[in-house]
Amino acid sequence: MQVVRELDVVKEIIRDLKNKGMTVGFVPTMGFLHEGHLSLVRTAKSENDFVVISIFVNPLQFGVGEDFERYPRDLERDRELADSAGCDLIFVPAAKDMYPPGYATFVDVDRLTEGLCGASRPGHFRGVTTVVAKLFNLVSPHKAYFGQKDAQQALVLKKMVQDLNMDLDLFILPTVREADGLAMSSRNKYLNSGEREEAPVLYKSLLLARELVARGERDPLIIGKNMEDLICSARGAVVDYLEIVDTEELKPLKSIKGRCLVAVAVKFGTTRLIDNIFVEV
């Protein structure tokens, strides 16, 4: 497995592979890999000849006062995990190469980015779509893999690929969870032991929503109130948002119908966790 930092080198390697008729799968990440990332890599490996992971903590997608500086970074650890999952190349660009002085081009997806994490983190998705568009141009994969854990991000990127006629297929794979239901995330590392104990309440609240719907409840306000009560019973938990939206436009629903996305963001101290599930009637 190679580790490549230079932008033109990665382009050249991929060009050569494609000239030989090989297919390329791509998993963009911010590193500090866990089983959620590795599940994407394994699927990519099963569907492509060559798999690239990018590791880039993208300054553009972090707001002022967010965790850009303290975001966990450990390339040695990532290298071993990526290798064990079948990755062929880790691309680790430097911020100064991705955004050299005078950099001026950004990608924005309208509407889908307004609610949920877009409302709590202004400018976040502009950073995500810009960096992923750049990474797609550098790696030019046949297939790219993203996690359902970041449901809004995955939908926004799908829209970008569609609207900009990008020549690749984008796949969204299921959320990988810890044994107690907590969605795996590099940010879980920030949690102290008390917070870690309480953190599964996000998933519990989503399961509660599913159970209420199964019992016939169709009012998002009532479901939301039950979820909120449960989350607030966890020590230190502060709800950032809690929404039931449609799966295409991500607009809040007035009543539960068809396939819906239940999404939550909860803060424990300075750590913000997100999770979601689908419910269907």
Nearer to ligand AMP, 54 or 220 (CB): 54
SS3 of residue 254 by DSSP: coil
Report the nearest approach of ligand AMP to the CB of residue 85 (Å). 12
Among the options 34, 37, 124, 142, which is catalytic? 37
Report the nearest approach of ligand AMP to the CB of residue 76 (Å). 17
Q: How far apart are CA 65 and CA 51, in angstroms?
A: 34
Task: Report yes or no: 25 and 52 within 8 Å, Cβ to Cβ.
Answer: yes
Per residue in 222-245, is it b (16+ CB within 10 Å) or e — as a string? Answer: ebbebbeebbeebeebebbebbbb
Task: Report yes or no: 184 and 190 within 8 Å, Cβ to Cβ.
Answer: no
Q: Which residues bind ligand AMP (CB under 6 A)?
A: 29-30, 36-37, 39-40, 146-147, 149-150, 175-176, 183-186
Nearer to ligand AMP, 39 or 113 (CB): 39
Nearer to ligand AMP, 13 or 117 (CB): 117
The residue of the chain with the least Cβ separation from ligand AMP equals 147
Report the nearest approach of ligand AMP to the CB of residue 104 (Å). 24
At 240, list the tokens.
């950032």
Instruction: For residue 72, report the phi and psi dihedrals to the nearest 5 degrees.
Output: -65, 135
In order of 71, 220, 260, the CA distances from 148 in angstroms are 21, 21, 14
Report the nearest approach of ligand AMP to the CB of residue 126 (Å). 15
Nearer to ligand AMP, 88 or 150 (CB): 150
Q: 37 catalytic, yes or no?
A: yes
* Residues with a known catalytic role: 37
